[in-house]
Chains A and B, each alone.
Chain A
Amino acid sequence: MAASFGEPRRSFSGGGIRVVLPAHLRTLAKVGDEVSVHVERQVTLGSVLDALEARYPVLQGTIRDHITLRRRPYVRFYACEEDLSHEPPDTPLPEAVVTGAEPFLVVGAMAGG
């Protein structure tokens, strides 16, 4: 297995990639405001999402399509005030995310009724 994972926590205390999920996915995964995942290989958009879905299989298909792994249209990826939504999966995440200083944000777009 390529990744190992910490327990979900409400406030990060170091040691992994911090991931903030939108409210509905927190409810679905039964986690708090923030989770932490450890990625053994290069920390990229794709490897963090792989680790997240491996730790919380119920999230499979909700952020990315099951088969194509394409981001769902109304889901966005932010980090360090940058929009990474349109970047390819092998895009390295900013160093501040790798060190745990900043979280990786999975955001439900503000849309719909």
Chain B
Amino acid sequence: MSGVRVLVGTRKGGFILTSDARRARWEVSGPHFGGWEIYHMKGSPADPNRLYASQSSGWFGQLMQRSNDGGKTWEPVGNKFVYDGVAGTHQWYDGTPHPWEFKRVWHLEPSPTDADTVYAGVEDAALFRTTDAGQTWHELPGLRRHGSGSAWSPGAGGLCLHTIVLDPTNTDRIVVAISAAGAFRTDDGGENWRPINHGLRSEGIPNPTAEVGHCVHRIARHPSRPGVLFMQKHWDVMRSDDGGDSWREVSGNLPTDFGFVIDVHAHEPQTIYVVPIKSDSEHYPPDGKLRVYRSRTGGQEWEALTNGLPQRDCYVNVLRDAMSVDSLDPCGVYFGTTGGQVYGSADAGDNWTPIVRDLPAVISVEVQTVPPSLAGV
């Protein structure tokens, strides 16, 4: 029987929630790195006890942390992120050129096969990689230099590379997403990149169907179907069946097609989850009701999942990296809110329970399904 380890990044530290496969009783450890923003923590699929964390603060900048024992102890590793060559400029909010400046690491994506290799998505938008367990980080500069980089402009949260999708069947193929530039793909391991935004429509940019400039919030895929991508865009839930070459809208009957998270059931590649959020600028659930929406058809037809979630007076947000699934059967689904709750469902979303209610605002949630000895249960 396996256990579950939920890695929660918050505005004021990291927390690790552990349970056995019943997912009914939880132990909470933390705060780790109390007082620091933990944008993301993620474990290596190749070694579940190897964890990486992005630790940052407005005072002291970016730190990176590594654990070799499932989060019991941590050690700081390399925090030097230097753009390759002349950094150049992107567009600022007012349309003027603005120098590329490193601010923080938003997202970490460990290699599925090598515990020492991790990709990091950073602000200002770029993709970095370590192959020595975090001691040194090197940019894959082809992304910024493919041609459109000088035209990228930041979203409200900054010019951040927040999504990295690795292809388990093709190590040369990587999809990334940048707010507010769009989605990009390499098919040669990061040397060459191209925008993959055909089919996206964003009314907030001068040319709604432009090649770049779209505010993509999140992309998810099921490992068994790496060519099928699901996207939550600033507005619109989108789907691609050709690895991102083209997209079509699958928002269907959602109460609002705005949101941040999107994720895929561990065992049903056509079952996907979103949390609709009211916008512009409100960024809380419509009608004060926190509802996860599930589609069992890969989009278009959606059902509201409400059992155990607050259905009145709820005005929290669910940020882009704050949903994850475990690989138990039935599949567990987890998400965290800016109100500090982490909700879990041990039955694929039918019923929800708050695992913790009063953490700092949650930025990210990642889940590891591990042997019970590693989960500490």
Contact = CB atoms under 8 A, between A and B. Distances in A.
Interface of A: 22, 24-25, 28, 58, 60-63, 65-67, 72, 74-75, 108-109, 111-112
Nearest to A113: B11
Contacts of A28: 60, 63, 76
A71 to B, nearest CB: 11
Contacts of B76: 28, 58
Nearest to A68: B101
Interface residues of B, number: 13
A25 to B, nearest CB: 7
A75 B60 CA distance: 8
B330 to A, nearest CB: 39
Given A24-B35, A28-B76, A67 B60 contact: no
B82 A66 contact: yes
A24 B59 contact: yes
A60 B58 contact: no
Contacts of A25: 60
11 contacts: A24-B35, A24-B59, A61-B62, A61-B63, A61-B79, A66-B82, A72-B60, A74-B58, A108-B60, A111-B58, A111-B59
For the complex of A and B, the 9 pairs showing the least CB-CB separation, nearest first, are A62-B60, A74-B59, A108-B59, A66-B80, A58-B76, A61-B79, A61-B61, A112-B58, A62-B61
A60 B59 contact: no
Contacts of A72: 59-61
B260 to A, nearest CB: 22
B59 A61 contact: no
B36 interface: yes
B79 A24 contact: no
A65 B99 CA distance: 15
B288 to A, nearest CB: 25
Nearest to B36: A24
A24 B331 CA distance: 39
B270 interface: no
A75 B80 CA distance: 19
Contacts of B79: 60-62, 66
Contacts of B82: 66-67
A24 B57 contact: yes
B127 to A, nearest CB: 19
Interface string B67-104: 00000000010011010000000000000000000000
A101 to B, nearest CB: 28
Nearest to B11: A113
Q: Which residue of B58, B59, B79 has the most chain A CB atoms within 10 A of its CB atom? A: B59
Nearest to B35: A24
A62 B63 contact: yes
Contacts of B58: 74, 111-112
B63 A75 contact: no
Contacts of B80: 60-61, 66
A77 to B, nearest CB: 14
